[in-house]
Amino acid sequence: MSTYKAPLTDIRFALYDVLGAEALFAKLGYGEATRDVLDAVLDEAARFTETVLAPLNSVGDEIGCCFDKATGDVTTPPGFQQAYSQFIEGGWTGLTAAPEHGGQGLPHVMGVPLNEMINAANLAWGNFPLLSHGAVEALRQHGEDWQREAFLKPIVEGRWTGTMCLTEPHCGTDLGLLKTRAEPNADGSYAISGTKIFITAGEHDLTENIVHLVLAKLPDAPPGAKGISLFVVPKFKVARNGRMGERNALRCGSIEHKMGIKGSVTCVMNFDSAEGYLVGQPHKGLLAMFTMMNTARLGVGLQGVGLSERAYQNALRYSLDRLQTRSLSGPKFPDKPADPIIVHPDVRRMLLTVKSLVEGSRLLALHAGTLIDVAHHAQDPAEREQADVLVSFLTPISKACQTEWAIENTYHALQCFGGHGYIHEHGMEQLARDARITTLYEGTTGIQALDLMGRKTASTKAAGLKLFLAQMEAFAKEHEGDASLAEFIVPLRQKAAEWTALTQGILQRASADPEEIGAASTDYLFYSGYVALAYWWTRSVAAAEASAHSDAFKQSKRETARFYFARILPRTLTHAAAIESGAAPLMAMEAERFGA
């Protein structure tokens, strides 16, 4: 059976020793975010996820959600309602929300370890509150005063949840094709009509209301994506004074039968002149929706981290216990009938791959969280702007790499179990199935790659990359006289220079052939992710050596970093070669010859 123990030691190391969270919080004015408070939050989050959510993980997978065709109602798996009630009682829904909206006002980055723990313990359950934070941010930044007053407090309190309604049966990524319409009503509201698909938590029995943020087009909308507006459309109507009224004209049409995350409901939502209100400016809906989408993308990246962590814990436990043959260099446990499989190089390869990717990913995710805090609360406007540019650059890297690595990590962990990993009772195959969706929703890996290469690099003249490389170089310069870090800093600087050259080469070729952007994008994304983790592993070694952690902990960090640089970072060579090959090998074949 799959189990989970929150990795508090490594989370605290990442937050306090590597990222210097205590000093950062003091600088940003978070007076109540003391070490005692933060540690208490982490301890209680661990208790809740380990004892309440984790035992329900297999329940959600085995029973799933039930859909009533007659009423359109959805029933969540046994125990999910009770767990959500405890989640609200614990104040978790408003942990990082602003006090004026009923939140506790803790730094945004403190939601990162909470969400990692939730995702590791029970990814499907975690999808129900997942989009609420993004809904809060979209309404906070783009909504009218009455909308913030009416909707934010119930969402922050957890009494209501939020959804994001973009995709339609005929249009996925190309939102300019959407057909959902919004007709103005005499009272200033709008009648929303259309069908949305793949709506996470679009209908459920956990809360008294569900707030849908819906993309639709006004009658006078210009064609394409420039004509999209955003509307808030609650399940039960909400008056301007915040009072909840009668059932709105919207209904769940069906729920999907999925490969994984079966305890999470994925809905077809039908809107039939449902009452809604415009959020932000007419025809500017994508701007408001991207506020929510970027939050969701970082959240999905954390799903990959959580799944990878749980997979690693179980694979490590099994590898230490499972006896199978002898070490190639002679028995390591002569008192036993065979050695545990952790003595074998290939098992160690899989375990170290997962360990190096998950611990590096944790820092990548936490760093993004600190950047959001800086972007919102730094006193210097230039510092806020730089943090916003950098987190924008890192978002597609985090989302895509952490989820793609989750697929690799959960399969490695399953492989450590051998045939037992393929059997349901051990819980490893559920982790592998659950991981598969994370590379698809909130923008596929290909979409993230195009976002990174096109919008975040080409369109900005590599502004985010330059900031990240400057951060890497500042660290390298600070430690260039440290002989104990030379084995990492020298290759790190080489990769930084290569990253710059690769970027310049792509942009130069793209000026003559726009297809070069798409041809290079996926390899560029992974190249970026692997170099970013090399930086965080170098910082981890330096921070560990300067910390009060045990010698075993320090040595573990150094040895894992060495493995990463020797066995994982060379993957960049393949990605660089693919990038340099250009668009021709991809675009030369005519479409009809693919079937020849």
Domain with 221 in it: what CATH number? Answer: 2.40.110.20
The pLDDT score that the predictor gives to residue 397 is: 98
**3-state DSSP assignment of residue 274:** strand
- Asked whether residue 238 falls in the same domain as residue 179, the answer is yes
Give yes or no for a contact between 264 and 127, defined as CB atoms under 8 angstroms apart.
yes
Separation CA 19–CA 477 (nearest Å)? 18
Separation CA 283–CA 216 (nearest Å)? 9
Separation CA 399–CA 442 (nearest Å)? 9
Last residue of a domain, one of 236, 268, 284: 284
Q: Is 45 a member of any domain?
A: yes
Last residue of a domain, one of 284, 301, 331: 284
Provide block-wise average pLDDT over 10 residues at a time, the chain (596 residues).
96 98 96 95 98 98 98 98 98 96 96 98 97 93 96 97 94 82 97 97 98 96 91 97 97 98 98 98 89 91 98 98 96 96 98 98 98 97 98 98 98 98 96 98 96 97 98 97 96 98 98 97 98 98 98 98 98 98 96 95
Q: Is 50 a member of any domain?
A: yes
Q: Is 24 a member of any domain?
A: yes
3-state SS of 488-537 is HHHHHHHHHHHHHHHHHHHHHHHCCCCHHHHHHHHHHHHHHHHHHHHHHH
- Asked whether residue 15 falls in the same domain as residue 117, the answer is yes
Instruction: Name the domain count of the chain.
Output: 3
- Asked whether residue 115 falls in the same domain as residue 171, the answer is no
- Asked whether residue 51 falls in the same domain as residue 121, the answer is yes
Separation CA 298–CA 289 (nearest Å)? 15
- Asked whether residue 470 falls in the same domain as residue 531, the answer is yes
- Residue 407: phi and psi, rounded to 5, are -65, -45
- Asked whether residue 97 falls in the same domain as residue 180, the answer is no
The CATH number assigned to the domain holding 60 equals 1.10.540.10
Q: Is 215 a member of any domain?
A: yes
Q: Is 383 a member of any domain?
A: no
Q: Is 341 a member of any domain?
A: no
- Asked whether residue 112 falls in the same domain as residue 178, the answer is no
Last residue of a domain, one of 284, 302, 328: 284
3-state SS of 31-44 is CCCCHHHHHHHHHH
Strands of 155-249 (E only): list them: 160-165, 181-184, 190-200, 209-217, 228-234, 236-238, 244-247
- Asked whether residue 89 falls in the same domain as residue 171, the answer is no
Domain residue limits at 120: 8-66+76-134
The pLDDT score that the predictor gives to residue 170 is: 84
Q: Is 15 a member of any domain?
A: yes
- Asked whether residue 125 falls in the same domain as residue 196, the answer is no
Give yes or no for a contact between 547 and 554, defined as CB atoms under 8 angstroms apart.
yes
The pLDDT score that the predictor gives to residue 547 is: 98
The pLDDT score that the predictor gives to residue 176 is: 75
The pLDDT score that the predictor gives to residue 292 is: 84
- Asked whether residue 91 falls in the same domain as residue 209, the answer is no
- Which residue in the list 116, 137, 442, 516 is annotated as catalytic? 442
- Asked whether residue 105 falls in the same domain as residue 202, the answer is no
- Asked whether residue 276 falls in the same domain as residue 165, the answer is yes
Q: Is 233 a member of any domain?
A: yes
Check: pTM over 0.95? Answer yes or no.
yes
Establish whether 157 is a catalytic residue: no
